[in-house]
Amino acid sequence: MKYCMQIVTATLLCCIAFTACKTVPVTGRKQLNLVPNSMIQALAFSEYDSVVKASPTLMQTDDRAQMVTRVGGRIQQAVESYLQQNNMSKEVKNFKWEFNTINQNIVNAWCMPGGKVVVYTGLLPVTQNETALAVVMGHEIAHAIARHGNERMSEGLLISLGGLVLEDALKNKKQQTQLLFLGLYVVGSNLALALPNSRMQESEADKLGLIFMSIAGYNPEEAIPFWQRMASVNNNKTPEFLSTHPSDATRIKKLSVLIPGIKMHYFKN
């Protein structure tokens, strides 16, 4: 009986994975996409509003905030135009773009599903210029375009819930779903699945980010000196195999290979 249940469970998981398989724009990679976009965007917009309201956000009269908005707007317009030209406008359907700068000494930026972007002022001394900022914002926007948040949440649901109570989790276990979205839901298969996939998503966002910044008119070659500066301020000594991000050295090596081709095909100066 137990063996039969294992077979049934495995079959159901295979069916779920097959029917929920989507394609990442531009790269063409197949990904798991179980969560309705309307749900994940509602969670994202709510969390984004909470963070922004509780943070020391710069006014748009501040030069730093203006630069963040300018870079974000250029990349947004370039991405939307590119997707429209390639019959992929649906990928940004219902996006509600927003760019905010939080005045905190944190070397970070992020983009929620649906186009909600935050840049911390602590990042700006490392970017040093507008083009390097485009490296970061292109990367973060790429996460949203590629729906990496949905993919990660879908993987977490499958790992933690076995896919058998997915509908119940989405409809009735709102708190549990919220925790999973926020990355607080710890899964047992973290090292086996979640971390490697996260590193893969980071590399994919690197590639897409270079493409997006290039079609927006920013030279992708700036990515190398920027990541070299990041490496010099990065105090995280976590081994790469235990990290959700590729090491700075790995990232720089991969970007160096990608940049010439991307610059040739996408860069508009």
pLDDT tens column, 48-101? 898 899 999 999 999 999 999 999 999 999 999 999 999 999 999 899 999 999
Q: Which residues constitute the domain of residue 261?
A: 23-266
Residue 98 placed within a domain: yes
pLDDT value of residue 247: 75
pLDDT cut 70: percent of the chain above it: 73
Residue 12 placed within a domain: no
Residue 14 placed within a domain: no
**Residue 140 falls in the annotated catalytic set:** yes
- List the one residue out of 4, 29, 18, 13 whose CA is nearest residue 203: 29
Give the global pTM.
Answer: 0.81
Above 80 in pLDDT, residue 25?
Answer: yes
Residue 206 placed within a domain: yes
Residue 64 placed within a domain: yes
pLDDT value of residue 228: 93
Above 80 in pLDDT, residue 166?
Answer: no
Domain count, the chain: 1
Residue 9 placed within a domain: no
Contact yes or no for 224/255 (Cβ under 8 A) = yes
Above 50 in pLDDT, residue 31?
Answer: yes
Residue 108 placed within a domain: yes
Give tens-digit pLDDT for 109-163.
988 889 999 999 999 999 999 999 999 999 999 999 998 888 887 777 776 655 4
Distance CA(269)–CA(267), nearest Å, equals: 6
DSSP per-residue letters across 25-83: TTT--EEE--S-HHHHHHHHHHHHHHHHHTS-BPPTTSHHHHHHHHHHHHHHHHHHHHH
Active-site residue among 91, 98, 140, 155?
A: 140
Residue 15 placed within a domain: no
